[in-house]
């Protein structure tokens, strides 16, 4: 039997997981010898599927460019910040993204709004969704540059195709006229087609003022808020609580 050419052919065909599993079976032949042909073939197929799933997951995470290396399993529910466990469990389940619903995470600084958004984004990647993270100010800057480069429409089209869009640090200042129009275009393209996660220190009741134009504000919030779940965080900053100040070392002098 020509074993090495078989492995090489599998790699040429892009079946690297199958090739690795086949080599492992050869090296541990005594372990796999009692198994029948279909069982051994099934192990090869399972390994190939696992390998491909891992590569797709890596690609999704790279594209998402999440700000925080966060996952929902590490979420600390003991921290006193007003997290509703039932709502959070529903969000972790992820079915809301299939219904193209939005999520608004608000509260003072230091309560891990960005971390929670990234953890849910990571979970969406694991569920096979296309995710993209953007700080709102940087996204508006990128859109302004895209207008000068002639690729503004292409950028808006790529954002529209994303399953879960994370807009972090929204509402830091009143939007400029071009930013309002860009935001309306993004939300209009995504309405009923994708989910948007927004984090903000600004209470939702003040978002109308932050947009700046009453007419555009009504249109933007109609598409963003009315189909949204809400996580309203409260309490003391977690950064402040975990910032332990150590006294300076003292050197006794004779």
pLDDT in tens, 146-162: 998 899 999 999 999 99
- Among the residues of the chain, which ranges form H helices? 3-12, 16-27, 29-32, 37-64, 85-93, 95-98, 113-126, 136-149, 152-160, 177-190, 207-211, 214-224, 238-242
DSSP helix/strand/coil, 129: coil
Between residues 250 and 168, the one the model is more confident about: 168
Predicted confidence (pLDDT) at residue 229 exceeds the cutoff of 50: yes
Q: Give strand pairing partners of 230.
A: 104
**Which pLDDT score is estimated for 44?**
83
Report, as an integer, the average pLDDT of 12-20. Answer: 80
Given a contact cutoff of 8 angstroms between Cβ atoms, the answer to whether 204 and 104 are in contact is yes
Given a contact cutoff of 8 angstroms between Cβ atoms, the answer to whether 162 and 130 are in contact is yes
Predicted confidence (pLDDT) at residue 166 exceeds the cutoff of 60: yes
Confidence of residue 220 (pLDDT cuts 50, 70, 90): very high
Ordered by where they begin, the domains of the chain are 3-62 (no CATH), 72-236 (3.40.50.300)
Given a contact cutoff of 8 angstroms between Cβ atoms, the answer to whether 193 and 100 are in contact is yes
State the DSSP string of 174-194: PPPHHHHHHHHHHHHHHTTT-
Report, as an integer, the average pLDDT of 206-215. Answer: 92
Report, as an integer, the average pLDDT of 46-64. Answer: 88
Report, as an integer, the average pLDDT of 69-80. Answer: 80
Report, as an integer, the average pLDDT of 54-65. Answer: 93
DSSP helix/strand/coil, 237: coil
DSSP helix/strand/coil, 112: coil
Percent of the chain whose pLDDT exceeds 70:
89
Write the pLDDT tens digit of every residue in 119-146: 999 999 999 999 999 999 999 999 999 9
pTM, to two decimals:
0.80
Confidence of residue 254 (pLDDT cuts 50, 70, 90): very low
Which tokens is 44 given? 């090869």
Q: What kind and span of H or E run contains 167?
A: strand 164-168
Which residues have C-beta within 8 Å of that of residue 33, sequence separation ≥ 6?
Answer: none
**Which pLDDT score is estimated for 245?**
41
Predicted confidence (pLDDT) at residue 1 exceeds the cutoff of 50: no
Write the pLDDT tens digit of every residue in 103-112: 999 998 888 8
Predicted confidence (pLDDT) at residue 251 exceeds the cutoff of 50: no
Predicted confidence (pLDDT) at residue 238 exceeds the cutoff of 70: no
Burial class (CB in 10 A: 0-12, 13-18, 19+), 30: exposed
**Which pLDDT score is estimated for 67?**
93
Predicted confidence (pLDDT) at residue 253 exceeds the cutoff of 50: no
Average per-residue pLDDT for the chain: 85
């Amino acid at each position: 039997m020509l074993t090495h050419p078989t492995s090489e052919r599998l790699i040429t065909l892009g079946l690297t997981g199958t090739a690795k599993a086949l080599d492992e079976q050869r090296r541990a032949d005594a372990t796999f010898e009692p198994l029948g042909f279909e069982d051994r073939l099934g192990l090869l197929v399972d390994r190939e599927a696992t390998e491909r799933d891992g590569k797709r997951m890596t690609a999704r995470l790279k594209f998402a460019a999440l700000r925080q290396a966060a996952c929902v399993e590490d979420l600390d529910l003991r921290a006193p910040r007003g997290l509703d466990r039932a709502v959070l469990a529903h969000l972790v389940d992820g079915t809301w993204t299939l219904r193209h619903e939005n999520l608004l995470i608000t509260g003072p600084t230091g309560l891990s709004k960005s971390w929670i958004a990234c953890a849910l984004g990571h979970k969406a990647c694991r569920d096979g969704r296309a995710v993209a993270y953007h700080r709102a100010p940087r996204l508006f800057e990128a859109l302004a540059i895209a207008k000068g480069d002639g690729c503004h429409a292409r950028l808006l089209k790529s954002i529209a195709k994303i399953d879960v869009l994370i807009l972090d640090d929204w509402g830091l200042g009143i939007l400029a006229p071009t930013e309002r129009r860009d935001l309306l275009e993004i939300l209009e393209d995504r309405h009923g087609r994708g989910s948007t996660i927004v984090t903000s220190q600004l209470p939702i009741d003040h978002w109308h003022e932050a947009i700046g134009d009453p007419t555009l504000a009504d249109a933007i919030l109609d598409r963003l808020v009315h189909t949204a779940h809400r996580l309203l965080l409260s309490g003391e900053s977690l950064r402040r609580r975990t910032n332990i100040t150590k006294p300076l070392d003292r050197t006794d002098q004779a």
